Amino acid sequence: MVLTADGAPFARAPISNKRKLSRLGVATLLATSVLAATSVAQARTTQIQILNRGTAFGGHSFAGVGQYEFITGIATGEVSPTNPQNGIITDIQLAPRNGHGNVVYQHNFYILQPLDSSKGNRKMMYEPPNRGGKTYQTLNNTPTGTNDPAALTDPAVLDDSFLWTRGYTTVWTGWENNLGPLTGTNRLGDPGKSLA
């Protein structure tokens, strides 16, 4: 036990704890160095097209958060088929390539966010869709059966929701490549075919 300048007791960590902390620090530093040195597969977004934007939930205002807006659109990106880390993408070597030698892809997105971002909680719930559909309803305590959450307008249902009453931004992006034209579903597609 050591006394501080004002006479209050101050306990020092035993030597063994200091060694454990030192080893943990070294292990953390090594792990961080390995991760930093590892090459990362590059996929980059090259274009974002906003298709629709407007007030969500029929203009309903959540206490402390305010109104929400919806934003829908299509993002276009590209990946290198020669990068070994992209080799897990089925048939990527067979896909058409652009002028840079990359494979171009598109996916749509659906965003619900507080209209006044300063009233949001700066947190996001991201959900990849299940066969083109959104499955947020159980988590959010809202009715099932709609793939367009912004179309909900019942104030009782909205005020009982979990995410939006707390200022969360909710985001869905597509990955299904075998769905027809968009009708509130999310999908990933070939840029040669329209997603709209």
The pLDDT tens digits for 144-180 are: 767 788 999 999 999 999 999 999 999 988 765 555 5
| Greater model confidence, 190 or 43 | 43
- What is the pLDDT averaged over residues 105-111? 88
Candidates 125, 126, 114, 110; CA nearest to 165 is 114
Terminal Cα-to-Cα distance of the chain (whole angstroms): 71
Residues 6 or more apart whose CB falls under 8 angstroms from that of 24 comprise: none
- What is the pLDDT averaged over residues 58-73? 96
3-state helix, strand, coil in the chain (%, to 5): 25, 30, 45
Give the helix/strand (H/E) hosting 175: none
Contact of 182 with 196, CB cutoff 8 Å? yes
Candidates 92, 149, 143; CA nearest to 125 is 149
Contact of 106 with 79, CB cutoff 8 Å? no
Q: Check whether 3 has a pLDDT greater than 90.
A: no
C-alpha neighbours within 13 Å on the C-beta side of residue 62: 27
The reported pLDDT for the residue numbered 160 is 93
